């Protein structure tokens, strides 16, 4: 938690907030007739930091090339955002991984309460992977491919 506090205090307070989608599940995208991708399910839209949206987008996309293409298009429209994202991405990935690990811990506990030890072990194992990703983010490697693509998650 010390690392998260330090990284949070290093990030400058932005002069404005961006409108972010906030729900990059693969079923929230549709292909338009002209070949463009349209985002749907706008119920999670909120004002926030675009970095958190890109981190969420990374997890919602099927594979790394999709995400890299999305970022390339995103930064073509917002070139000054690239440096900001590259500088502060570890913090936002770290927060994302901490949240996911926490959710898995709660699911594991609830599975044990329901006497479902197999389900609890699955949640515990997935939670451990998020802790490993958090540690990688703290080491400045928020997108460690060997950890990132070893499992599917919701």
Q: What is the pTM of this model?
A: 0.68
Q: What is the pLDDT along the chain (154 residues), one digit of tens a residue?
A: 788 788 777 777 767 667 666 666 667 777 788 887 777 766 666 667 777 777 777 766 656 677 778 788 888 888 888 888 888 888 888 888 888 899 999 999 999 999 999 999 999 999 998 888 888 888 877 666 566 555 555 5
Query: The tokens 């675009």 sit on which residue?
Result: 50
- pLDDT for the residue 26: 65
Burial of 148 (0-12, 13-18, 19+ CB in 10 A): middle
- How is the chain split into domains, by residue range? 2-148
Name the residue among 104, 103, 108 with its Cα closest to residue 121: 108
124 in Cβ contact with 104 (< 8 Å)? yes
């Amino acid at each position: 938690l010390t690392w998260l506090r330090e990284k949070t205090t290093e990030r400058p307070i932005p002069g404005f907030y961006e409108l972010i989608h906030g729900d990059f599940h693969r079923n929230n995208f549709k292909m338009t007739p002209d070949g463009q991708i349209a985002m749907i399910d706008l119920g999670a839209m909120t004002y926030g930091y675009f970095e958190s949206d890109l981190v969420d987008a990374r997890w919602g996309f099927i594979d790394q090339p999709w995400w890299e293409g999305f970022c390339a298009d995103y930064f073509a429209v917002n070139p000054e955002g690239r440096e900001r994202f590259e500088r502060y991405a570890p913090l936002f990935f770290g927060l994302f991984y901490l949240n996911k690990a926490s959710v898995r811990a709660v699911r594991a506990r609830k599975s044990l309460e329901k006497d479902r030890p197999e389900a609890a072990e699955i949640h515990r194992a997935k939670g451990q992977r998020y802790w490993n990703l958090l540690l990688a983010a703290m080491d400045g490697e928020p997108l460690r491919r060997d950890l990132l693509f070893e499992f599917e998650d919701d």
